[in-house]
Chain A
Amino acid sequence: MPASNYDQACLQDLLPLYYKRLFPFAQYYRWLNYGGVQKNYFQNREFSFTLKDDIYVRYQSFSTQGELEKEMQKMNPYKIDIGAIYSHRPNQHNTVKSGTFQALEKELVFDIDMTDYDDVRSCCSAADICSKCWTLMTIAIRILDRALREDFGFQHLLWVYSGRRGVHCWVCDEAARKLSVAARSAVAEYLSLVKGGEQTVKKVVLSDPIHPFIRESLTVVDHYFTQYALQDQDILGRKESVDKVLALVPEDVRKDLQQDFKNEKKPETRWKLIEDQAIRKQSTAKKGQHFEKEIMLQYCYPRLDVNVSKGVNHLLKSPFSVHPKTGRISVPMDIKELDTFDPFAVPTISLICEELDRPRTGEEDEKSEDIKDKENEKDGAERRKIRDYKKTSLGKYVKYFDRFLDGMARSWKGDLLRKSDLQKEF
């Protein structure tokens, strides 16, 4: 599906249409209300808007879904960020005694940005991405998703494409929302393996014993390494890249390999030579030498910004927000289809606005869904709105979001029952 040509100048005209007819307010509210289990959860949530001309307003809060809708349709924000749930309504924070207005809870979030990998990708740099380096995001999502679910026991993870060059993860479990700053930073540190900035050459150092988490992560990297690193990125092809890789092995090994590489040009074979050297070193050296693993991790392992995850009050781009530079919608990603996810196929705001006027193929299926809607007693406007996003490429993402919310709703039901039992309400 070719994306309509997007021009940032059109944003001003497209946003009103987007917020009026396409933004999935019902699902959005359903998410942030978390089943109404905790009082004032939605009302005490901070939103921030970036308006036209880079005007930034914080501490926005709303009492109902309707209020949120009206305000967004009035302000037409270019960007929307979601913050924490506070002790009081954020839009009244000035009336509260200083010191008592505090951030209490928020989802545990992770932000993976492609620019953090600039030292290990040769195809693009800075804000650019391509299909070759997008694999890094796939690897990152697989590793982190597994760790958050299997190691930490979290269940409700929402992965969102940021709209340009990265992905975000929202961990929505109740336990995650209640984590302290120290706990969040501990989780982020547990998940960090790549350390060091521009000045550091060797960013991953492993020592014995190799923790099961690292082993699992290596299994994932292994799966993608040959295709991604040896072929797409060609890290053992050109001389500068080879030098960079060899800078990560011990000096004596480096000399041997440089010698060998004079005769061997095929990347896969070159990598085998490195692996063989590693095995040899491991059997002779007293302490484990894991440089082949370290190379794999340095080139592929996810790079997290710990500061994003640490702060309870940190504001992060909202799902279904528009990215002003690319026009793409920050859509939730279905992990089951991760390997086929194409960031360039994500709909732009211009595309979906255009689609509103065009009838899409598959309109016949939607006729039967219209009947279902009537039976559900939704009012005319909302029915129309639901039909609207279904008409567009946004539909499948909202559907996925619905399924995600259904998963969470099962736990809300249980919580509500438990709460009413405690309070003896019948």
Chain B
Amino acid sequence: MLTADVHFLSRHVIVLPAFVEQPTLFGGLEPRRRCCYSLTGAMQFSGRRRKINANPQTELYGHALQFYGQPPLENISLSEFETFAVDRLKLLKTIENLGVSYVKLSEQYSKKLEAEFKTLSFPYRPEADDRKTQTGPSELEKRRKDHISHFILRLAYCQTEDLRRWFIQQEVDLFRYRFNNLPPKQKLEFLHRNNLQYDTINVEEKKSLLDKLVNSSYAVSGITVEDQDFYKVPFQDALDLVRTRKVYLKAGYVYIPHQDIVTIVLNDFRTRLSKALALTARSLPAVHSDERLQPLLNHLGHAYVGQDYSIQKNVGKISLEQIDSLSGKSFPLCMRQLHQSLRENHHLRHGGRMQYGLFLKGIGLSLEQALQVLEVGVHKGQSGCRQV
């Protein structure tokens, strides 16, 4: 369970709550890294003996992309806490907006997202390191910010189903973008580091399996086999593909083209995050007991819940004059028919009147307005019309 160890080292320094260990989906529990940071940054270990790293951060943040399996265990100041959280929220909002406006991973999408990464000081270049002198925060600092801000937002977004869904969706999109940007070698490294034992098959094996691969999936053609890397994945990690027989299976491994491996990794990420949020939600009361964190987390959670479908854009009162034009554009065919008939014949029989009347009520017309519609239809052609 979560133990919220909050002690005051000074007015502005807090210890982030120690998050509960998340067991990985593959390979069981990660070995617990017991290390505590003193203010000076030197690492002290209890238990395992390891070489004391001069710069502890290089070990934690040696890689551009992570699954956020390990929570941060350091002290940060309250202001940093707030800044990190707000910046990440801005990033996720941008991701949401860009995802709506552009095709995900298209050039425009990537360009704009990169600009946002730069502005908010988040890591985005997988090969980046601190060798070149640069102004502004170092790569390590950016990665640290990425790591910590993710966990802060977990606290804010774990509480309700809607919040969780939104948070997971944006984080998955962010992960997808970053994973895609990794060069192939780093992709493999990432998979192995995170206990996803996926290897690519070499060219000879691809050639020998060509027919089988092409015949296993509608989406795989000879060209796919030639151009893309194929990964060997244990079948337990690709159950959906196995269940529907959409993939080639041999000796307990499924052979997946690169385009699909991303799906599997993303699903894995989504599942892990979902489980983690559920666990975090259970431990939330302990965190809320800290009065400094509570208002901030609440504010974050309420500031953005996702698409605001309650925006009154096109919804409004329909006026009578609009009915004619709307009937052509927006009415369902059956109602359009009725309206047309009403106009042409200046008359609507009982059944039609009932149906159409209900529909007018349904689109928001008041009783008087509805009656007017039905009457106007009648009165427009006085000559020779029948009594209603």
Contact = CB atoms under 8 A, between A and B. Distances in A.
Contacts of B215: 209-212, 215
Nearest to B218: A209
A151 B250 contact: yes
B42 interface: no
A279 interface: no
A186 B242 contact: yes
B250 A150 contact: yes
B36 interface: no
A189 B243 CA distance: 5
Interface in B209-251: 212, 214-218, 235-236, 239-240, 242-245, 248-251
B362 interface: no
A209 B245 CA distance: 11
Contacts of A426: none
Interface in A53-106: none
Interface residues of A, number: 23
B252 interface: yes
B331 interface: no
Contact of A211 (B239, B245, B251): B245
Contacts of A154: 252
Given A182-B239, A209-B217, A190 B245 contact: yes
Interface centre among A185, A209, A210, A214 (most CB of B within 10 A): A209
A182 B214 CA distance: 27
A214 B250 CA distance: 14
Interface string A131-164: 0000000000000000000111110000000000
Contacts, number: 56
A interface secondary structure, majority: helix
B117 interface: no
B68 interface: no
Interface centre among B212, B240, B243, B251 (most CB of A within 10 A): B243
A130 interface: no
A189 B236 contact: no
A213 interface: yes
A150 B96 CA distance: 45
B254 to A, nearest CB: 10
A153 B251 CA distance: 4
Contacts of B249: 151-152, 190, 213
Contact of A183 (B214, B217, B239, B245): B239
A208 B235 CA distance: 23
Contacts of B239: 182-183, 186
Interface centre among A154, A185, A208, A213 (most CB of B within 10 A): A213
Interface string A151-184: 1111000000000000000000001000110110
B247 to A, nearest CB: 9
Contacts of A153: 250-253
A213 B217 CA distance: 12
A209 B216 contact: yes
B242 A175 contact: no
Interface string B170-198: 00000000000000000000000000000
A175 B26 CA distance: 13
Given A183-B236, A209-B218, A175 B243 contact: no
A375 B297 CA distance: 77
B255 to A, nearest CB: 11
Interface string A182-225: 11011101100000000000000000111111110000000000
B252 A190 contact: no
A17 B244 CA distance: 49
Contacts of A185: 243
B48 to A, nearest CB: 16
Interface in B270-325: none
A212 B251 contact: no
Interface string B134-174: 00000000000000000000000000000000000000000
Nearest to B211: A212
Contacts of A213: 245, 249
Contacts of A212: 212, 215-216, 248
A180 B217 CA distance: 25
Given A179-B236, A186-B242, A211 B252 contact: no
Nearest to A185: B243
Interface string B344-383: 0000000000000000000000000000000000000000
26 contacts: A150-B250, A150-B251, A151-B249, A151-B251, A152-B235, A153-B251, A154-B252, A175-B252, A180-B236, A182-B239, A183-B236, A183-B239, A186-B240, A186-B243, A189-B244, A189-B245, A190-B242, A190-B249, A211-B215, A211-B245, A212-B212, A212-B215, A212-B216, A213-B245, A213-B249, A214-B245
Given A180-B236, A213-B245, 11 more contacts: A150-B250, A152-B235, A179-B236, A183-B236, A186-B239, A190-B242, A190-B245, A209-B215, A211-B216, A211-B245, A215-B215
Interface of A: 150-154, 175, 179-180, 182-183, 185-187, 189-190, 208-215
Closest 10 pairs between A and B when the two form their complex, measured CB to CB:
A153-B252, A153-B251, A186-B243, A186-B239, A189-B243, A209-B215, A151-B249, A212-B212, A186-B242, A211-B245
